[in-house]
Amino acid sequence: MLSLSPPRLVTFLLSIILIGLAVASLYLKIPTIGPTVVKYRTWFFIAAYAVLALGVVSRSL
């Protein structure tokens, strides 16, 4: 069995930022990195989930 632990605050905040950018790109125009987020929105969602999952599985993240 996997030993699960809560993610560290930095890992959780990084996941929230990635999700926030992806969701914000649906409704707002983000000036600086907007085109990149819109182009790779699905990958931002996947990356946010992967970062959070790695944070739960690994104690060092």
From CA 7, how far away is CA 24, in angstroms rounded? 24
Instruction: Say how many CA atoms lie within 13 Å of 37 toward its Cβ.
Output: 20
pLDDT of 34: 81
Domain spans of the chain?
Answer: 29-60
DSSP code for 1: -
**Distance from C-alpha of 46 to C-alpha of 51, rounded to nearest angstrom:** 9
CB atoms within 10 A of CB 41: 15
pLDDT, tens only, 7-61: 999 999 999 999 999 999 889 888 888 888 889 999 999 999 999 999 999 887 7
